[in-house]
A and B are shown apart, each in its own frame.
Chain A
């Protein structure tokens, strides 16, 4: 079958009423949590993971994916209208978007954001459709040594590209690896790190850690700095952008889409990094960089296209190599695992309907989002007036029931509460919990492949530098690490992230 046939197969899968419904639910939920500050997509997906267990595999994955890219749309709505970015990836959108709203051009900004996102989503979807089969046929040649090198590269690159101190991120990965080792050792059958507790013999459930670290500790942290009551809205205006807006935004949309698609593929990349980079690129190529921050339409178009493109293209490494590039993709990986599907090159050949169904549903979801967003913006914005104290008890209940329902074990609920405490401590220590999740999901894979490699070579680690693919990836890792140690690069990186926070 050629790509066209496969895409048709995907559309026929994605267009079934049930899958279309779940796509819509995901997009709606994503928009909802994107609009509401204080609830991020990571926490939402953590809460919903157990529920997808009750759905067919494709439906569950379609819904979760919808939440992820839906949140990118929703986050920009509040960024523009009330200067309150619902998601981290919409922070830069607020700079120019809110200024546009203040000048009475809110409708125009929202429309540019929605249409730019849709265009970017379409391009990135085709990117997946083209790059997916290519990369996965390449990955079929991978042996265990290549996988070890790829995972080491992925984990370390993720820490370097993500914000925050690198040493802390590496430490969080190590803690994740350690948590992944709890339970029965796959190779020897020995009980490891279980405190002798029977409840831990099967290891720790991914949802327990995710809900503890993201769900519970986010609630506690939000309540600590309370005062998130209702907000005042900028007046709404004409919806359609002017011809001038169109003329100025389309090159920005193109650049944003390109940079977003590329950055989404890189380990540690993703929506947030993409939108920041697109904004600074736009500022660099613009003829009037000083005007940025005063309501320039390019300043909305570029980051919005970039974050949506990146949200989609970050699926590429997961679907083709089985390596999640950020914590959202770690969630998606475990969503696949719940259904007994191991993402990777073999999915494309053995279960093409899953891969192509997801690709097709992403495009449909993006089209749905334009319709959800443009006419319904008023409704979404009203939701902002719901105070957090009415929301968090509901989130608390969903978290508790969700954790319990995975294995019908009370112990998991208590363990998740423990991880909530740990997550709180990490917040106080200014450690990002994201890398921990990556380490946790990749840990067992890394260990199995490392053991296999060294068993084949009888303990000779030189295989890692003798195989060309593995050598390339390890060399790239070393270069990245060396760059981090070089003071000049480190300063640049810090500056880049300072700019983002400003």
Chain B
């Protein structure tokens, strides 16, 4: 390794912590601070955010002094497919009913794993959708339309 510095995962941590802190401070900008005896809505959020930024700074500074360590490789396929299929489920559950949403979720979600065969995926989708409709919608009474309205 060359003389590169910076522990990747820790730098990411520092960024996440400081980011949350900054976001919180910005969101809390209009909140009432209050006093120690009569804490306003903004007192503790600001304290926590300040703590997060401070902690992010410390972790970041320490990470910079360590040897370089890469962040584990990312594979975009599972990430995008899973998040996309959940978002699609949310959209379809509202406009297309449970059956369409569930079929979409399982068929689209199966694309995250390249090894799947179409026949198994379709059978799985059909079976799970039927199971979900029976157990959740009929059995437990989850309030969701089965079919498009």
Chain A residues packing against B (C-beta within 8 Å): 51, 54, 167-168, 170-171, 174-175, 177-178, 181, 185, 187-188, 190, 192-195, 216, 219-220, 223-224, 226, 388-390, 392-394, 396-397, 400-401, 404-405, 408, 410, 413-414, 416-417, 420-421, 424-426, 428-431, 447, 450-451, 454-455, 457-459, 461
- Are A168 and B59 closer than 8 Å at their CB atoms? yes
Q: B interface, by DSSP: helix, strand, loop or mixed?
A: helix
Please tell me if B4 contacts chain A, counting CB pairs below 8 Å.
Answer: no
- Are A216 and B75 closer than 8 Å at their CB atoms? no
Please tell me if B48 contacts chain A, counting CB pairs below 8 Å.
Answer: yes
Residues of A contacting B134 with CB < 8 Å?
none
- Are B39 and A405 closer than 8 Å at their CB atoms? no
Task: Apart from A397-B106, A404-B144, list 10 A-B contacts with CB within 8 A.
Answer: A192-B42, A223-B113, A224-B78, A226-B113, A388-B113, A393-B128, A413-B86, A413-B93, A428-B9, A447-B44
Assuming A223-B112, A396-B86, A420-B83, is B41 touching A174 (CB within 8 A)? no
Residues of A contacting B112 with CB < 8 Å?
220, 223, 392
Assuming A167-B59, A396-B105, is B44 touching A450 (CB within 8 A)? yes
B113 to chain A, nearest CB (A): 4
Can you name 13 A-B pairs with beta carbons within 8 Å?
A: A175-B20, A178-B20, A178-B24, A178-B49, A181-B48, A193-B27, A219-B78, A396-B82, A401-B132, A421-B83, A424-B79, A428-B74, A429-B9
- Are A174 and B48 closer than 8 Å at their CB atoms? yes
- Are B89 and A178 closer than 8 Å at their CB atoms? no
Residues of A contacting B44 with CB < 8 Å?
177, 181, 447, 450
Residue of B whose beta carbon sits closest to that of A413 = B90
In the complex, what distance in Å separates the CA atom of A461 from the CA atom of B93? 51
Residue of A whose beta carbon sits closest to that of B77 = A223
- Are B41 and A223 closer than 8 Å at their CB atoms? no
Residues of A contacting B51 with CB < 8 Å?
174
B82 to chain A, nearest CB (A): 5
B116 to chain A, nearest CB (A): 5
A156 to chain B, nearest CB (A): 13
Residues of B contacting A421 with CB < 8 Å?
79, 83
- Are B24 and A393 closer than 8 Å at their CB atoms? no
Residues of B contacting A178 with CB < 8 Å?
20, 24, 45, 48-49, 52
Residues of A contacting B35 with CB < 8 Å?
459
- Are B82 and A171 closer than 8 Å at their CB atoms? no
- Are A451 and B48 closer than 8 Å at their CB atoms? no
Please tell me if B142 contacts chain A, counting CB pairs below 8 Å.
Answer: yes
A413 to chain B, nearest CB (A): 4
8 closest Cβ pairs, A-B complex: A459-B37, A459-B36, A223-B78, A190-B41, A429-B12, A185-B41, A430-B9, A429-B13
Assuming A220-B82, A223-B78, is B105 touching A393 (CB within 8 A)? yes
A29 to chain B, nearest CB (A): 14
Chain B residues packing against A (C-beta within 8 Å): 9-10, 12-13, 16-17, 20, 24, 27-28, 31-32, 35-42, 44-45, 48-49, 51-52, 55-56, 58-59, 71-72, 74-75, 78-79, 82-83, 85-87, 89-91, 93-94, 102, 105-106, 109-110, 112-113, 115-116, 120-121, 124-125, 128, 132, 136, 140-144
Residues of B contacting A458 with CB < 8 Å?
37
- Are B55 and A167 closer than 8 Å at their CB atoms? yes
B51 to chain A, nearest CB (A): 5
- Are A171 and B12 closer than 8 Å at their CB atoms? no
In the complex, what distance in Å separates the CA atom of A389 from the CA atom of B121? 9
In the complex, what distance in Å separates the CA atom of A220 from the CA atom of B109? 11
- Are A397 and B105 closer than 8 Å at their CB atoms? yes
B37 to chain A, nearest CB (A): 3
Residue of B whose beta carbon sits closest to that of A223 = B78
In the complex, what distance in Å separates the CA atom of A457 from the CA atom of B49? 25
Residues of A contacting B28 with CB < 8 Å?
192-193
Residues of A contacting B128 with CB < 8 Å?
393-394, 397
In the complex, what distance in Å separates the CA atom of A178 from the CA atom of B124? 40
- Are A195 and B27 closer than 8 Å at their CB atoms? yes
- Are A397 and B132 closer than 8 Å at their CB atoms? yes
The one of B10, B12, B52, B79 in contact with A220, judged by C-beta atoms closer than 8 angstroms, is: B79
- Are B105 and A425 closer than 8 Å at their CB atoms? no
Assuming A413-B86, A420-B86, is B9 touching A192 (CB within 8 A)? no
- Are B31 and A190 closer than 8 Å at their CB atoms? yes
- Are B93 and A410 closer than 8 Å at their CB atoms? yes
The one of A216, A390, A429 in contact with B16, judged by C-beta atoms closer than 8 angstroms, is: A429
Residues of B contacting A417 with CB < 8 Å?
83, 86-87, 90
- Are B39 and A428 closer than 8 Å at their CB atoms? no
B62 to chain A, nearest CB (A): 8
Residue of A whose beta carbon sits closest to that of B144 = A404
In the complex, what distance in Å separates the CA atom of A213 from the CA atom of B51? 22
- Are A175 and B17 closer than 8 Å at their CB atoms? yes
Assuming A397-B102, A405-B136, is B93 touching A175 (CB within 8 A)? no
- Are B86 and A216 closer than 8 Å at their CB atoms? yes
Assuming A188-B32, A389-B110, A458-B37, is B86 touching A416 (CB within 8 A)? yes
Residues of B contacting A404 with CB < 8 Å?
93, 142, 144
Residues of A contacting B9 with CB < 8 Å?
428-430
- Are B52 and A171 closer than 8 Å at their CB atoms? yes
- Are B27 and A428 closer than 8 Å at their CB atoms? no
Assuming A195-B27, A400-B105, A459-B35, is B52 touching A428 (CB within 8 A)? no
Assuming A389-B116, A413-B86, is B41 touching A192 (CB within 8 A)? yes
Assuming A190-B41, A193-B45, A454-B36, is B125 touching A393 (CB within 8 A)? yes
- Are A393 and B41 closer than 8 Å at their CB atoms? no
- Are A171 and B17 closer than 8 Å at their CB atoms? yes
In the complex, what distance in Å separates the CA atom of A417 from the CA atom of B58? 30
